[in-house]
Amino acid sequence: SQSYREFNGQMGQTGAEYIFSLLLDRCFENGCNTLIWGVGLDSEVYGMANPKGSTVFLEHDEEWYNNVTRLLPKLEVHLVTYSTQVRNAKALLHNQKVLLLPLPDNLMEPRWDVILVDGPTGWKPEHPGRMQSIYTSAVLSWSGLKLNTKKRVDVFVHDTERKAEKLYTQTFLGITNCINSGWPSGAGLLKHFVLDKNSTWPKERIPLLG
């Protein structure tokens, strides 16, 4: 069977290998709709695990966006703009109008099978943080289940040891829906949330699409 290392020998982190393995299992034969917040020079590998599906990336750094799309022109990457800062994460927790990030209409459809939140940057107080990417991912995922467009959505969130990521995943994805305690992936922990008909809905009311 194919492995992450066969596609990308430069990166052997446990978390990335785990995501790649899930994509192979879920997506390689029949294709999935995969949404990834953040893009890198190794991002091709996720599309290789999903050759019959759609793999879409969202990036906020315009210079990095230009570099990656020039080097990897086959990737579908959209430039997005965040309006938050890490220092305001707690204050924004219930401000759903701010937290829902406007995306192109075709991306706001609740059609995603797998979502990976690995962006934007969030280790400094002035960084945008992942509040909008986590919240918007939650809205897309729960909407897909409620509208029966999806029976299961796998959501991965990187750097969940940080306060903002921990708070927002617990609030909008739900502690009980997390199936692991965090895989090491680079310098941070990657958590995997499985949302399906048996999932516990978050206490925080989430407005659904559609």
What percent of the chain is predicted at pLDDT more than 70? 92
Of the candidates 144, 157, 156, the one whose C-alpha atom is nearest the C-alpha of residue 197 is: 144
* Residue count (the chain): 210
Strand ranges inside 47-138, DSSP E: 54-59, 76-79, 114-117
Residue 6: what are its φ and ψ, rounded to 5°? -65, -35
By the 8 A CB rule, do 60 and 81 touch? yes
As given in the structure block, the two tokens for residue 198 are 């048996």
Which pTM does this prediction carry?
A: 0.92
Which pLDDT tens digit goes with each residue over 116-159? Answer: 999 999 999 999 999 999 999 999 999 999 999 899 999 999 99
CB atoms within 10 A of CB 208: 14
- Collapsed DSSP state (helix, strand, coil) of residue 161: coil
Strand ranges inside 60-187, DSSP E: 76-79, 114-117, 152-158, 183-185
Which pLDDT tens digit goes with each residue over 176-186? Answer: 999 987 776 56
